[in-house]
Chains A and B, each alone.
Chain A
Amino acid sequence: MKKTKFSAFLSTTVVCYLFWLLLTGQLVALIQPNNPFSAQVLIAGAIVSVLTALFSARFFVHEKAFWFFNPIKLILLAVYCLIIFMWELIKANVSMFCYVFGLKKTNPGIVKVETDLESEYAQSMLANSITLTPGTITMDIAESKGKTYYYIHWIDVSTQDMKEAGDSIKGTMEKWIRRIWR
């Protein structure tokens, strides 16, 4: 079993505690003073997040532990999630509407696509983005000879060429994810 690094433990604790504060609505006390902090909730959250981080930090953090606290990258992440990814999502949903109601013919198949992202986080983020857009599901990730391949089930296979298929599935998402995780 791998040992938990202290930096990984610390960053997991901070993220857990942040989500605890958001979910219990404690941060609202900063905006609405008539609604004060409750010491009980704050202390319970601290204990729970320390325990959670002790058990789970070694599964979450394999690379740079403090990536999450870099403001420029957080802004890039927000731009990616709220604008770039949303736009891809809306386009894909509309085209799915056309397939379902018979305006376009489906033509399903599994294609293989190469990616040159190196970080594990970036690879899983791209795979999740591809799965979330209707019309494509990542089925597996394989590594061979230092290159990473995705096997993607695609509802309308227009080309079987690895590069063209990759361009039309990944779109602008890969460029943005590389920018975020550099």
Chain B
Amino acid sequence: MMDYVIYAFIAVSLIFALTGVVGMLRFKDSYSRMQASTCISTLGVLGVIIGAIIYSVAELSDISMAVKLGVLGLFYIVTSPISGHAIAKAAYRRGVRPEKKMKCDKYGEDLEDDN
């Protein structure tokens, strides 16, 4: 019975990981690709971790492994957006712009005002 719950969590996370990969290939500019890859790093990872926690408690009855997995998920959630900020900001300052013009670009306008 518990097997199917674990399979369900891992299947959901695989669906969202697939979404992220397809999005990275389909979208046209680098910022939208980063948006798609966030799918992998949130529900894609969390689903696997939750599935693994249920597996380690229900099947292996190993609580310390479940605690470690929980801490791992927490660290992942806390640290992954920071690289997102850094990459997006660095790309923009370096002059990466999408080929198709963005609908509005408040950041570029304000950067020009400063200079």
The contact of A106 among B32, B68, B92, B106, by CB within 8 Å, is B32
* Given the contacts A134-B39, A137-B88, A27 and B67 also touching, CB distance less than 8 Å: yes
Chain B 12-44 per-residue mask, 1 if CB under 8 angstroms from chain A, else 0? 000110011011001101011011101101110
* Pair A90/B43 contact, Cβ less than 8 Å: yes
In A35-70, the 8 Å CB interface with B consists of 35
The contact of A97 among B16, B35, B63, by CB within 8 Å, is B16
**Considering the chains assembled together, what is the distance between the CA atoms of A29 and B41 in angstroms?**
33
Size of the A side of the interface (Cβ < 8 Å), in residues, is 43
Q: Enumerate chain A interface residues (CB-CB to B < 8 A).
A: 19, 22-23, 25, 27-28, 31-32, 35, 81, 89-90, 93, 96-97, 99-101, 106-112, 127-128, 131-140, 142, 151, 153, 155, 157, 160
Main secondary structure of the interface of A (DSSP, over half): mixed
Interface residues on B, range: 35 or more
**Considering the chains assembled together, what is the distance between the CA atoms of A133 and B34 in angstroms?**
12
Q: Which chain B positions have C-beta within 8 A of A106?
A: 27, 32
* Pair B68/A22 contact, Cβ less than 8 Å: yes
* Pair A134/B38 contact, Cβ less than 8 Å: yes
Q: Enumerate chain B interface residues (CB-CB to A < 8 A).
A: 15-16, 19-20, 22-23, 26-27, 29, 31-32, 34-36, 38-39, 41-43, 63-65, 67-68, 70-71, 77-78, 80-82, 84-85, 88-89, 92, 98, 102-108, 110
The contact of B81 among A22, A96, A128, A160, by CB within 8 Å, is A128
**Considering the chains assembled together, what is the distance between the CA atoms of A100 and B104 in angstroms?**
21
